[in-house]
Amino acid sequence: QEESNTTVQKLELHHTRQELYIFPKSQQQLVIRVALPEVKYQRIEINNPEILVEENSILFQDATQLLEVQIKLTPEQLNQLKEKLK
């Protein structure tokens, strides 16, 4: 594996995209972009679930898909949910 060094001419940070652009001094036509990997959430869709409420958790059961999703909430989150459902 070969190692090389790059002298930076300019750095630019794109705040909203969370990307750093590095402009090397030796290669004017090159721009190096450094960014965090994009986060991709997996979505689960449950239709007409059975809803069970326990102390600080909500349980959604879908008998047709044999799927069960449990959501544990803090008391504050539970209050937020109640407010949003009004």
**pLDDT tens digits, 17-38:** 889 999 999 888 999 999 988 8
* pLDDT at 62 (0 to 100): 94
Number of domain units in the chain: 2
Domain contains 20: yes
Domain contains 14: yes
Domain span at residue 19? 1-36
Token pair in block for residue 83 = 């407010």
Same domain, 56 and 80: yes
Do strands 57-62 and 50-54 pair parallel, antiparallel, or not at all (unpaired)? antiparallel
Helical (H) or strand (E) element with 28: none
Distances (CA, A) of 53 to 10, 56, 70: 56, 8, 10
**Whole-model pTM over 0.85:** no
Domain contains 41: no
* Distance from the Cα of residue 72 to its chain's centroid: 19
Same domain, 56 and 31: no
Domain contains 72: yes
